[in-house]
């Protein structure tokens, strides 16, 4: 488990194929947005995920005790939860607060329930909950839906182990770390083992840094994407031609060739990340906020 991803509940119960994910979601909400006339259309899954990611990140900035790992854990809990419960039937703000509250406990950096609630209601005026018992009740629902499978394997650990192998510099490490943070806006954590995501992030970081001229020292808590869409596109091109092949990239490619790492998965994960950054350009926070507001209003 904690040592062995392959024996973990994450590998056994929460790793899917893309078509499995699609059919699970379709079952929850048969009239997916764009085909049908919801007016205006409900934002796409990735935009919702970006909204969650950026909101949680901003939330954590004000609470020094919340660590990146807890944010990552909270996001996975939400993703798994929304494979059983349609987001349109929930209060997304209450769920965000609850997932984070639970994630902090799981990562052994607990926050008191009252503090979590007061911070959450200050941060999200839409929360609409003033009793801690509501958060406690939501916690029951969350844990029950996740069947108490709460221990997670994140790519950060593999990144830590591999950065030495590839001799990553400080900036490349920071960039890879930020790319992993961004990956929580995708389905990657539901599709691939954590090391695949870590290697993908390393690959992108190594390819992009010399070419893209990225701002150095990206904060781990960045609320904007780590990589621009055009830079990401060029990274994808780099896969084929490897035109900017520096010694680090060559080493990475050699290592991958010799290792038993699933290359198809790496390529696909890279494409997912690139397409996320494209998708991020079309993201508008207000659209999601309004959609949620309308949804909460309709529920009442």
Partner 1 sequence: MDATPYAPQRHINDNYDIVGFISSGTYGRVYKAISRRTANQPAPIVKHPSGRTIEAFAIKKFKPDKEGAELQYTGISQSAIREMALCTELSHPALIHLVEIILESKCIFMVFEYAEHDLLQIIHHHSLLPRTPIPASTLRSCMHQLLSGLLYLHQNWVIHRDLKPANIMVTSSGAIKIGDLGLARLFYKPLHPLFSGDKVVVTIWYRAPELLLGSRHYTPAIDLWAVGCIFAELMTLRPIFKGEEAKQDSKKAVPFQRNQMGKIGEILGLPRKSEWPLLQAMPEYPSLQTVSMHNASVNRPVTLDKWYRNTTGSNNYNAQTSPPPDDSALDLLKKLLEYDPLKRSTAEQALKHPYFLGADGTGKPPSWNCFEGLETKYPARKVRHDDRLQQYRDNFGFNSLLAQAIAENVLPPGLEQERMLQVHARHAWNLAVDSPKREKTGAREYEVLNEAWGWACLRFAEAAGEWRLKAEFGGVDNVGAGGAGEG
Binding site for partner 1 (CB under 8 A): 1-4, 8-9, 67, 69, 85, 89-91, 94-95, 101-102, 105-110, 113, 128, 132-141, 143-144, 147-151, 157, 160, 296, 299-300
Q: Which is nearer to partner 1, 127 or 207 (CB)?
A: 127
Question: Going by C-beta distance under 8 Å and a sequence separation of 6 or more, which residues neighbour residue 12?
Answer: none
Distance, CA of 256 to CA of 208 (rounded, Å) = 18
Q: Which is nearer to partner 1, 88 or 251 (CB)?
A: 88
Distance, CA of 292 to CA of 93 (rounded, Å) = 9
Q: Do residues 204 and 179 make contact, with C-beta atoms less than 8 angstroms apart?
A: yes
Q: Which is nearer to partner 1, 149 or 289 (CB)?
A: 149
Shortest distance (Å) from residue 149 CB to partner 1: 5
Q: Which is nearer to partner 1, 91 or 186 (CB)?
A: 91
Q: Which is nearer to partner 1, 68 or 186 (CB)?
A: 68
Q: Angle, to 10 degrees, between the axis of helix 92-106 and the axis of helix 132-145?
A: 70
Which parts of the chain fold into alpha helices (H)? Answer: 9-13, 18-28, 45-62, 68-81, 92-106, 113-123, 132-145, 155-165, 170-183, 188-191, 194-212, 229-241, 247-258, 263-281, 285-299
Shortest distance (Å) from residue 145 CB to partner 1: 9
Distance, CA of 109 to CA of 119 (rounded, Å) = 16
Shortest distance (Å) from residue 153 CB to partner 1: 10
Q: Which is nearer to partner 1, 264 or 300 (CB)?
A: 300
Q: Do residues 222 and 208 make contact, with C-beta atoms less than 8 angstroms apart?
A: no
Shortest distance (Å) from residue 186 CB to partner 1: 24
How many other β-carbons are positioned within 10 Å of the β-carbon of residue 97? 28
Shortest distance (Å) from residue 155 CB to partner 1: 14
Shortest distance (Å) from residue 202 CB to partner 1: 19
């Amino acid at each position: 488990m904690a040592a062995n991803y392959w024996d973990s509940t994450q590998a056994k119960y929460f790793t899917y194929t893309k078509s499995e994910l699609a059919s699970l979601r379709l079952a929850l909400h048969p009239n997916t947005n764009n085909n049908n006339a919801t007016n205006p259309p409900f934002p796409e899954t990735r935009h919702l995920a970006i909204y969650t990611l950026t909101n949680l990140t901003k939330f954590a900035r004000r609470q020094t005790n919340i660590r990146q790992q807890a944010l990552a854990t909270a996001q996975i809990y939400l993703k798994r939860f929304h494979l059983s419960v349609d987001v349109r039937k929930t209060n997304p703000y209450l769920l965000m607060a609850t997932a984070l509250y639970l994630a902090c406990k799981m990562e052994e950096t607990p926050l008191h329930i009252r503090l979590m609630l007061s911070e959450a209601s200050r941060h999200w005026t839409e929360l609409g909950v003033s009793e801690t018992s509501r958060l406690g009740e939501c916690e029951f629902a969350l844990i029950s839906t996740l069947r108490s499978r709460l221990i997670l394997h994140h790519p950060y650990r593999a990144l830590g182990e591999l950065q030495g192998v590839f001799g990553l510099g400080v900036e490349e490490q920071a960039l890879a770390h930020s790319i992993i943070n961004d990956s929580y806006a995708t389905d990657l954590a539901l599709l691939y083992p954590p090391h695949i995501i870590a290697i993908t992030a390393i690959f992108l970081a190594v390819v992009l840094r010399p070419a893209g001229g990225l701002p150095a020292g990206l904060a781990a808590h960045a609320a904007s994407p780590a990589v621009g869409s055009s830079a990401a596109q060029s990274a994808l091109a780099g896969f084929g031609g490897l035109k900017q092949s520096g010694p680090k990239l060559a080493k990475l490619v050699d290592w991958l060739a010799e290792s038993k790492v699933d290359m198809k998965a790496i390529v696909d994960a890279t494409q997912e990340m690139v397409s996320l950054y494209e998708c991020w350009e079309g993201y508008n926070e207000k659209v999601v906020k309004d959609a949620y507001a309308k949804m909460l209003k309709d529920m009442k």
